[in-house]
Amino acid sequence: MTDFGTGVPVPSMEPDHGPDLRYSFNAHEWSVLLPLSLVGFFLNYDTGLLSLAAPTIAEGLGVTIGTFGIGVAVIRVAALGSMPVLRLADRVGRRRMLLVSLVAFTLATAATSLAWGLVAFVVFQMVARLFLATEEALAGIVISEELRPDRRGAGLTMLGIIAMSGFGLVAMILLLVPHTPLGWRILYVAALPPLFVVAWLRRSLRETKAFTVAEAQQRVQASFWPHVDAVHRPLLWRVMIVLGTHGVLTTPVFFYAAELAQDGYDWEGLFTVVVIAAGPATLLGYVAGGRLSDKIGRRPVVIWSAVLMVVGVALVFSEERALFAPGFFVLTGADAGLVAVRPSYLSELFPTEVRATLASFVLAVIVAAGSLGLVVVGVLEGVWSTRAVIAVLAVVMLAGLAAVRGLPETAGADVIGTASP
């Protein structure tokens, strides 16, 4: 295959031998997926620690849940620091920055287990969050660039399925916290062995074809500030609005859903059961966001994920105990759908030379929006009910869906050449 703009050969994304691989991955795709397979696990595990385990960690640090919530908001803002790192991924390559981010995240996680107070905890977790955001963005980009067009979503689905164990492991380790001398610190110590496994798997990861071709075509931009052409600027703003308003709701919803169950309903062990039982709904969400989006498109999955999120919010915060579990299942499924479709959609919207940079900007907006949502709920605590504030945030998210109208459908788009949506 040849790029029509330059005549430079573009490596084919189709397998050149072997049986029909429509519903399986070839050897090269597995060599990409395995080194990145636990990125989603660490993302969900870290999210679970700062939401499901929030009451436990706050108690261990000697602060109130409201104060800890503000600390979590500060931690999440640290993801903004991933933008310069991901800009380097568009300049020096994806592989190198994946290795750097893994080492830095491992060291920050180990340091967190030694935190002596809230300030130290926040500082160490800010570093961890910065490089976890880098891992999240680069994993989605590498999979989207290396897998065949009709398998991008399927690859991300596989990562999502593995990621499901993150929340469940947090819930199970929470039961052990009262019985170990490490207390809440065991939650971070337990993450270290899987990180060493990832380092071993990632040692032979190659650079992506898309970046190699961009270098050959001299499309890689040496400047720190990227040049974004006029075609992609409105797409950037629209996808930022759609995903940012989703983030402003998602983060406080899971944070305060955990508080409602554990502190409001006194469901310590039962909440663990609910989290584990949400597995099938989460699996369905990942399949819809990944594999199904390969078939029906990215935009429909984004829209329906947002709608179902509102349904889940209404059930969880209805203050009817019987509706909490069904609502939580809907929430986890809807969130998984959007998380699975997001990397491929962002990768297909933007060209290689600015793909990591713009994806990092959008992800940073999502994180900042989530922190804003946490702060809003925390600041208004005692003035408005948590239920009322979250309802307002749900309306904001639905309003943001209006920006979807200006976004193209991209499923199967070229991510190697210079083609635009």
Confidence of residue 5 (pLDDT cuts 50, 70, 90): very low
Higher pLDDT, 174 or 130: 130
State the pLDDT at residue 200: 86
Express each pLDDT in 273-287 by its tens digit: 887 788 888 888 888
The Cα–Cα gap between 56 and 121 comes to: 14
How do residues 226-265 score in pLDDT, each as one tens digit?
Answer: 888 888 899 999 999 999 999 899 888 888 888 888 888 8
Beta bridge partners of 384: 381
Within a 10 A sphere around the Cβ of 155, how many other Cβ atoms? 30
In this prediction, residue 315 carries a pLDDT of 94
Digit-coded pLDDT (tens) for 89-108: 999 888 888 888 888 999 99
pLDDT at 19: 36
Q: What is the chain's length?
A: 421
Q: So what's the pLDDT on residue 21?
A: 37
Helix (H, G, I), strand (E, B) or coil at 18: coil
The pLDDT of residue 419 is 54
Q: How far apart are CA 54 and CA 335, in angstroms?
A: 19
**pLDDT band for position 312 (50/70/90)?**
very high
The winner for highest mean pLDDT among 16-20, 163-167, 305-309 is 305-309
How far apart, in Å, are the Cα atoms of 72 and each of 149, 292, 307, 313? 37, 33, 26, 21
Task: Give the pLDDT confidence score for residue 12 in this predicted structure.
Answer: 40
**pLDDT of res. 1:** 37
What is the per-residue pLDDT across 183-229, written as a single tens digit (0 to 9) for each? Answer: 888 888 888 888 888 888 888 888 889 898 988 888 888 888 888 88
* 259 and 54 Cβ atoms separated by less than 8 Å: yes
Average pLDDT, the chain: 83
Q: SS3 of 99, please?
A: helix
Predicted pLDDT at 6: 36
Is residue 247 within 8 Å of 366, Cβ to Cβ? yes
With vertex at residue 74, the alpha carbon angle to CA 73 and CA 79, rounded to the nearest 5 degrees, is: 95
Q: Is the pLDDT of residue 4 over 50?
A: no
418 pLDDT band, cuts 50/70/90, is low
Write down all domains in the chain, each with its CATH number in brackets: 29-406 (1.20.1250.20)
In 3D space, the residue among 34, 137, 152 whose CA is nearest the CA of residue 81 turns out to be 137
275 Cβ contact partners less than 8 Å away, ≥ 6 residues apart: 52, 167, 168, 170, 171, 328
**In the structure, what pLDDT confidence band is assigned to residue 177 with cuts at 50, 70 and 90?**
confident
User: Tokens standing for 299?
Assistant: 């935009």
CA distances from 345 to 32, 293, 364 (A): 19, 10, 16
Residue 365 confidence (pLDDT) above 60: yes
Over 60: is that where the pLDDT of 291 sits? yes
d(CA 377, CA 385): 9
23-74 residue pLDDT tens: 478 888 888 888 888 887 888 788 778 877 888 888 888 888 888 888 887 8
Q: What is the spatial distance between Cα 342 and Cα 367, in angstroms, rounded to a whole number? A: 14
Q: What is the largest CA-CA distance in the chain?
A: 65
pLDDT score recorded for residue 334? 93
- pLDDT band, residue 398 (cuts 50/70/90): very high
The whole-number pLDDT of residue 327 equals 93
In sequence order, the β-bridge partners of residue 2 are 9
**Residue 362 in tokens:** 């959008």
